[in-house]
Structure 1
């Protein structure tokens, strides 16, 4: 995976002025676009699309500062059909328009060429098991919310807090298959996993496909397949978020599995009354690499 990511970075450099065909590259590398984008985002700290945009504007800035060509020629050379579109992209990266930078020489925000390297970590074993599950259904209360990587997501917090205690008890009584208990479900996540990108959050339980779904609840059908289940314990949500990050930096590079499309699920095994600490299981859909 580290080698594939570095080859992908090289491919970005080769296609700074045209469209990057990630799907074809992923297939040739023996993986999937979904897994490649998720691993890049987790390890680089930014989506692949954002890295490509920053690199494109870093190279374009050199052309702007040199002043040998007019701005329209530079815009076209870097894949933009107008100076307006180029100017918006340039300003989003550098914080100033190309005309201002040409006049003042800056400000410029350079995106270095990323290289991924394998470091020896993993001194603490990850509590993991592999589970094969038939198709099932996730049922509960759902909403579209922005993705937040660190800390409590206030949009999710408001959704859950608005449910009365008896509704939590009702949901828990409905669940009849694994993962057991009350669940936090993230579905329809952008493969780049960009901060602030929309996802579907569901607070609910897992049901067998034959179990009727109450009419007032949302439902997500989940295909049969393999799951990696990571057990975490400690301050919530920090311990869970750190374990999630470690799946990308440690577990996936060390194991013959890759992410497949599907919801990620957090099951609560134990929790403090104020949710300051919790023991959880993180369920990630996987397939052989």
Structure 2
């Protein structure tokens, strides 16, 4: 498989905050996991997503683990097919909890979503969870995208979070946004 060089950039955002990001190319892959339509919500805990996470069976977990064969090798939260007014926090989107895989065969226990080869803008962030992740996501849309050379394309966005065992409610997360040059 071809390997692509990774580029890292730091861009300064108005107000002097620096937003770290990198641009990565990824070949086509699948998201394999469990999904459902959930209401749009930008802050706090989305109870429908919590319910979705709690619904995952041991069997589904094991299958996802077996399918997982691509970086980032984490359980991801992906969203796609948002209603048009999602930036106004109206309507719904499809939320999937799952893994990245190149495998196109899954059991009927899991949903499989194809993702085309594309460019990704990746935003690492670290701090209190979930507020840091949510603030970073908001800044990507309100500040980074308008001032960057990129625009979002119609493909799933996803993120993963690694909780810090030693600090309560503290985490490292990455947000992956599918983009193309303007």
TM-score category (smaller protein): 0.7 to 0.9
Alpha-carbon shift at residue 131 of structure 1 (Å): 0.7
Counterpart selection for 1:271 from 156, 163, 173: 163
4+ runs deviating over 4 angstroms: 164-167, 272-275
Counterpart selection for 2:173 from 280, 283, 287: 280
In structure 2, the partner of 1:91 is none
Counterpart selection for 1:133 from 26, 47, 67: 26
Tell me, yes or no, if the aligned pair for 2:60 and 2:109 is still in contact at 8 Å: no
Counterpart selection for 2:39 from 130, 135, 146: 146
Alpha-carbon shift at residue 164 of structure 1 (Å): 4.4
Pairs aligned (count): 168
Is 1:233 matched with 2:130?
no
**Cα separation, partners in 2 of 1:139 and 1:132, compared to 1, 3 Å:** same
Tell me, yes or no, if the aligned pair for 1:180 and 1:267 is still in contact at 8 Å: no
Is 1:202 matched with 2:96?
yes
Is 1:186 matched with 2:85?
no
Counterpart selection for 1:251 from 121, 132, 144: 144
Is 1:124 matched with 2:37?
no
Q: TM-score, normalization: structure 2?
A: 0.82
Tell me, yes or no, if the aligned pair for 2:24 and 2:120 is still in contact at 8 Å: yes
Unaligned runs of 5+ in 1: 1-119
C-alpha RMSD of the superposition:
2.2
Tell me, yes or no, if the aligned pair for 2:123 and 2:175 is still in contact at 8 Å: yes
In structure 1, the partner of 2:7 is none
Higher share of residues assigned helix: 1
* 1:39-58 to 2 correspondences below 5 Å: none
Tell me, yes or no, if the aligned pair for 2:76 and 2:97 is still in contact at 8 Å: yes
Unaligned runs of 5+ in 2: 1-12
Counterpart-to-counterpart distance in 2, 1:271 and 1:229: 18
Counterpart-to-counterpart distance in 1, 2:62 and 2:107: 15
Counterpart-to-counterpart distance in 2, 1:206 and 1:231: 18
Higher share of residues assigned strand: 2
Tell me, yes or no, if the aligned pair for 1:172 and 1:181 is still in contact at 8 Å: no
Counterpart-to-counterpart distance in 2, 1:131 and 1:185: 17
**Cα separation, partners in 2 of 1:166 and 1:235, compared to 1, 3 Å:** farther
